[in-house]
Amino acid sequence: MLTRRKLGASLAAVGLLATPLTARADNTKPAKIRIGVAMAGLGGRPYSLGSALSVVHAQGLLEKEFAADGTAIEWNFYAGQGPAVNEALANGALDFAWQGDLPEVVARSRGLQTTQLIVAGNRSPVYVVVAHDSKISSLADLKGKTVANFQGTNLELSVNRILASAGLGEHDLQIVNLDQNTAGQAVAEHQIDAAFVQLGIPARAQKYLKVIYHSDTAHPELTPQASFIVTNTFASAAPGVVDRVVRVAVGAAHWSSLPENQDALYGIYAKTGYPLPFIKQVFKPIDPLVATSPLWDAFQRAQLARSAADADAYGLVRTPVKVDGWINAGPLNRALAVLELENHWPQFAADGLTKAG
C-alpha cells in the first residue's frame, strides 16, 4: 500500500481530489475505459468470481456496448486485491474498480475521491479452516494460535467482526498476513494453526483441512461486502458513459440471478481455475436473488457505514470516513427503470434479515 504522503501526492497529480460528480447529458466517447478487478484466478488467470462484473467481463458485454463508439475496454486483474487496486487508482491507471469495502474505505480516508455505483458481491460466506488432525474446534480455541488473515482486503473486517462475536480480537491471536490460497497450504502443512478464508475447502484438500467455523445466514452483518466504484474525475467528465456501464452491469446481475442461468454462471466462475464442483459447493447454498442484488437497500447502506466505523474502531484507518454522499444511486435507478427491474430483487431492512416493502 502506498504511504499516506505518496498516495495523497498521486491523487492530487491525477486530479482524483475532484468535486462530486455532476448529473448532465453528454455524448462522450472515451478512447478507453479502464477497469480494475480486485481478484485474479489461480495462477494469475484474468478472471474473477462472485459478482456481476465476472459476467460482464467473461461475456464481453462492455466491449459489445461500446463497439460502435470505438472505445476499448481494458480489464486489469490484481492478485494483490484491494490494496493493489488502490495503488492503481491513485496513479490514475483506472476509471472503474470492483473491490471490497475495506480497501475502498482506506483509500477514501486518504483522500481518494470515488463514487459508489452498485453493490457487486455481498453476504459471501467466511470460513475458518484448520488441519484435518487439529484439535481446534471453535473460535474460542484460536486464542494464542497463529492464524492467517488476508489483511487490507474486505476479509479483514469480517475477521475482526467474527472474532469480536466470540469475545476475541486480533491481539488475542498471532496474525500472519497471507492470501487465501497460500494460507490454506500453510495450514495443511502445519506451518500455521488456522486460516480465515472465503471459499471454503476444495474437495481435493478435504483430507488435509477441515472447517471449524462458517458464517451463517443469520448474521449477514459479519460478512464481507464488495461494490463497483468510479473515480469522480471520470464520472464528472463522462456521466453518460457511467450510466451505460452501470446499465450493462445491472443487466449482468439480472442474468446471474435467474435459475436457468446458474450452471452457466458457475462455468464462468470456474474460469478462475477453481474446480466446478467446488464452485457449486460454495455458491449453490446462497439465494441467487440475494447474492446478485445491486441494490443499495437499507442493509447495504448500513453495512457500508458499519465498515467505515469498524475500520476506524479497529485502527485500520488514520482518518475516520463518513459515507454520507459517497453513494450515487442515480445511475443504478436509471438502469433499473430502463431494464424494468425495479422490483426484481428483494430489499432488506438494516438488519439484513427483515424484508422491506
In this prediction, residue 22 carries a pLDDT of 39
| Residue listed under C-alpha cell 475521491 | 113
Do 64 and 151 fall within a single domain?
no
Do 117 and 132 fall within a single domain?
no
Do 27 and 72 fall within a single domain?
yes
Of 214, 234, 258, which marks where a domain is finished?
214
At 37, phi and psi to the nearest 5? -120, 120
Do 116 and 248 fall within a single domain?
yes
**Which residue in 201, 196, 155, 149 sits closest to 39, CA to CA?**
155
Look up the CATH number of the domain holding residue 200: 3.40.190.10
Task: Report how far residue 272's alpha carbon sits from residue 54's, in angstroms, rounded to the nearest whole number.
Answer: 10
Do 197 and 142 fall within a single domain?
yes
Total number of domains in the chain:
2
Q: Return all residues near 345 (Cβ < 8 A) that are at least 6 apart.
A: 257, 289, 290, 292, 293, 294, 295
Do 237 and 263 fall within a single domain?
yes
Is residue 63 one of the residues assigned to a domain?
Answer: yes
In this prediction, residue 281 carries a pLDDT of 86
Cell output for 196:
480465515
Do 261 and 162 fall within a single domain?
no
Is residue 348 one of the residues assigned to a domain?
Answer: no
What is this structure's pTM? Answer: 0.89
Give yes or no for a contact between 232 and 19, defined as CB atoms under 8 angstroms apart.
Answer: yes
Is residue 142 one of the residues assigned to a domain?
Answer: yes
Do 8 and 100 fall within a single domain?
yes
Is residue 81 one of the residues assigned to a domain?
Answer: yes
Number of Cβ within a 10 Å radius of residue 169: 11
Task: Report how far residue 213's alpha carbon sits from residue 247's, in angstroms, rounded to the nearest whole number.
Answer: 37
Is residue 343 one of the residues assigned to a domain?
Answer: no
In this prediction, residue 16 carries a pLDDT of 39
Of 152, 183, 214, which marks where a domain is finished?
214
Is residue 356 one of the residues assigned to a domain?
Answer: no
Per-residue confidence in pLDDT tens, the chain, 357 aa = 344 344 444 333 333 333 333 344 567 899 999 999 999 998 899 999 999 999 999 999 999 999 999 999 999 999 878 889 999 999 999 999 999 999 999 999 999 999 999 999 888 889 999 999 999 999 999 999 999 998 888 899 999 999 999 999 999 999 999 988 889 899 999 999 999 998 777 667 778 999 999 988 889 999 999 999 999 999 999 999 999 999 999 999 999 999 999 999 999 999 999 899 889 988 888 899 999 999 999 999 999 999 999 999 999 999 999 999 999 999 999 999 999 999 999 999 999 999 986
Do 250 and 327 fall within a single domain?
yes
In this prediction, residue 12 carries a pLDDT of 39
Is residue 354 one of the residues assigned to a domain?
Answer: no
In this prediction, residue 132 carries a pLDDT of 94
Residue 139 domain boundaries: 127-214
Is residue 238 one of the residues assigned to a domain?
Answer: yes
Q: Return all residues near 216 (Cβ < 8 A) that are at least 6 apart.
A: none
Task: Report how far residue 288's alpha carbon sits from residue 281's, in angstroms, rounded to the nearest whole number.
Answer: 14
In this prediction, residue 27 carries a pLDDT of 79
Of 179, 194, 214, which marks where a domain is finished?
214
Do 11 and 119 fall within a single domain?
yes
Do 238 and 334 fall within a single domain?
yes
Do 177 and 131 fall within a single domain?
yes
**Secondary structure of the chain as H, E, C letters:** CCCHHHHHHHHHHHCCCCCCCCCCCCCCCCCEEEEEECCCCHHHCCCCCCCHHHHHHHCCHHHHHCHHHCCEEEEEECCCHHHHHHHHHHCCCCCEEEEEHHHHHHHHHCCCCEEEEEEEEECCCCEEEEECCCCCCCHHHHCCCEEECCCCCHHHHHHHHHHHHCCCCHHHCEEECCCHHHHHHHHHCCCCCEEEECCCCCHHHCCCEEEEEECCCCCHHHCCEEEEEEEHHHHHHCHHHHHHHHHHHHHHHHHHHCHHHHHHHHHHHHHHCCCHHHHHHHHCCCCHHHHCCCCCCHHHHHHHHHHHHHHHHCCCCCCCCCCCCCECCHHHHHHHHHCCCCCCCCCECCCCCCECC
Cell output for 200:
471454503
